[in-house]
Amino acid sequence: MTLLDLSASELSRLIHSRAVKPSEVMDAHLARTTARNGAINAIVSAPDPDRLMAEARAKDDLAPQGFLHGLPIAVKDLVAVRGLRCTWGSPLFADFIAPGDDLIAKRMRAAGAIFTGKTNTPEWGHGSHSFNPVHGVTLNPYDRSRSAGGSSGGAAAALAARLVPLADGSDMMGSLRNPAAFCNVYGFRPTWGLVPSDAQGDTHMATLATEGPMARSVQDIARFLEVLAGENPTVPFPRPAEPFGDLLQTDLRGKRIGWLADWGGAYPCEPGILDLCETALKVLEDQGAIIDPLAPPFPASELWQSWLTLRAFLNAGGKAALYDDPHLRAQLKPETLWEIEQGQGLSAAQVYAASVTRSRWYARAAQLFRSYDALIMPSAQVWPFPAAWRWPEAINGRAMDTYHRWMEVVVPVSLIGLPSLAVPCGFGPNGLPMGMQIIGPAGADARILAIGHSYHLATDWPGQSPPPLP
């Protein structure tokens, strides 16, 4: 076993005990990145390797600052990192160098991280396929003809290929969960507000997206979440952090878990996905959990309409300045233009109605969680699709009427800010990875991570590395 095969938690322990130096960890990961990143295009805007080795050597003799001391971290290219290029995947910012850190980058830096570059993402994070006109497309390490998902696709691919021990991601519409499923790693969407945003733009109504951790083990997810979480006094709706890494032990005997499958057929899934998830459910059942198949608890069509309205409303407001300038507007991707224009046509009554639907669904979900410790659904509706596609246009012959309808299965969680851990389920007959979501009520992050940790100890699917890359 090499340093690259160790978990971030084990690497951190070895660095803290001075059994391993940060420079040794950096050297191993830089060598792997040099050898393999060119084949998958996961990490972009990387600093000079000599500079990174100098940063690592400077930490060799320092007292460890925190969990990330000396660990190489590449940050999603929707997050500003001081001194690194931050493009948001847009040609408008192709040469932009961030003058300062966004909040989560500050927290990672304070915990001792060394930033080895950015991870690729779709333009503006729109769509679950990580391609853009600045950096190109990220390919799946398990099959380089396929997508790595998105918008945290570069992060998931970098993790799977052992280019980094940890990665951050963000999730509005499954952007932590879908790429985790596609790349055989873990992605955790925390309860909304647990990982706060920067105090920029609207921070009261924009409650659909959140940052979160990605890793190859749930212990690493929990430890990294401790770094990212914690109140930001300049934004509303704070949630206190917990010692998540110390709360992973649980007994699944008697725990009740609801299996929502494809929501009664409302969320069509390609053949084999539900079967693989049901095999994974047996792992939890073998540990004593009680699995109950559930009927759809809320009309999927109402959730979708609410989602479309609120997402478009936020995009139209947040990107109004780009749209209002004809020169800038001409450089926006079609999907982003569509989002903005949908939002511009909304009335106040439509936005209010969408928020009422969201409120009704939150109340119904709270009722479900009185009877169930967790709910489970697939993390994705399609297998990793050809990288040459822009997005899947049909599932099982059913046409998708928007660029993101094919990932509708993530909406019930995103709409009301629930914690959801995407766990790997293994590989289908096609050899491609897939995963499922373990979902809890708001604030139950520690509970969901503990269930996921128990599952991981019984499976460790990320231990099955991708095939060698040229």
Amino acid at site 350: Q
pLDDT over 90 at 15, yes or no: yes
Side-chain-side CA neighbours of 321 within 13 Å: the count stands at 3
Report whether pLDDT(470) > 70. Answer: no
Average pLDDT in the 423-445 region?
98
CA distances from 136 to 77, 157, 376 (A): 13, 14, 34
pLDDT tens-place string over residues 180-231: 999 999 999 999 999 999 999 999 999 999 999 999 999 999 999 999 999 9
| pLDDT(469) > 80 | no
Q: What is the pLDDT of residue 148?
A: 98
151-166 residue pLDDT tens:
999 999 999 999 999 9
197 alpha-carbon distance from chain centroid: 15
**pLDDT-derived band at 269, boundaries 50, 70, 90:** very high
> Distance (Å, rounded) from C-alpha 228 to C-alpha 107?
6
How would you classify the pairing of strands 394-395 and 420-427? unpaired
In a domain, residue 1? The reply is no
Proportion of the chain above pLDDT 90, given as a percent: 99
Give the pLDDT confidence of 314-323 residue by residue, as tens digits: 999 999 999 9
Q: How far apart are CA 153 and CA 75, in angstroms?
A: 12
Contacts of 233 (CB under 8 A, 6+ apart): none
Q: What is the dihedral of CA 277, 187, 140, 106, to 10 degrees?
A: 180
pLDDT tier at 95 (50, 70, 90 boundaries)?
A: very high
The residue range of the domain holding 334 is: 15-463
468 domain-assigned: no
User: Which of 163, 148, 142, 137 is CA-nearest to residue 75?
Assistant: 163
What's the CA gap between 272 and 350, in Å, rounded?
38
Query: Is 182 domain-assigned?
Result: yes
d(CA 116, CA 119): 10
- Give CA–CA dist 33/28, Å, rounded: 9
The CATH number covering residue 137 comes to 3.90.1300.10
Whole-model pTM over 0.85: yes
Instruction: Using pLDDT thresholds of 50, 70 and 90, give the confidence band for residue 274.
Output: very high
Q: What is the pLDDT of residue 421?
A: 99
Is 94 inside a domain boundary? yes
Check whether 468 has a pLDDT greater than 90: no
Mean pLDDT across the chain, nearest whole number? 98
pLDDT by residue (tens digit) across 230-241?
Answer: 999 999 999 999
Provide the token pair at 159.
Answer: 């993790």
Helices in 244-381 by DSSP H: which ranges?
A: 273-286, 300-318, 320-324, 326-329, 334-344, 348-371
**2 in any annotated domain:** no
- For the stretch 35-70, pLDDT in tens is 999 999 999 999 999 999 999 999 999 999 899 999
CA distance 57 to 408: 46
Residue 324 token pair: 């209002």
Residue 4 belongs to a domain = no
Bridge-based pairing of strands 167-171 and 210-215 is: antiparallel
So what's the pLDDT on residue 298? 98
Please, what's the largest Cα pairwise distance for the chain?
62
Domain-located, residue 7: no
Domain count of the fold of the chain: 1
Determine, yes or no, domain membership for 116: yes
For the stretch 359-416, pLDDT in tens is 999 999 999 999 999 999 999 999 999 999 999 999 999 999 999 999 999 999 999 9
From 87, 188, 243, select the one nearest 451 (Cα to Cα): 188
Q: What is the DSSP annotation of 79-91?
A: S--TTSB--TT-G
Backbone angles phi, psi at 421, to 5 degrees: -100, 115
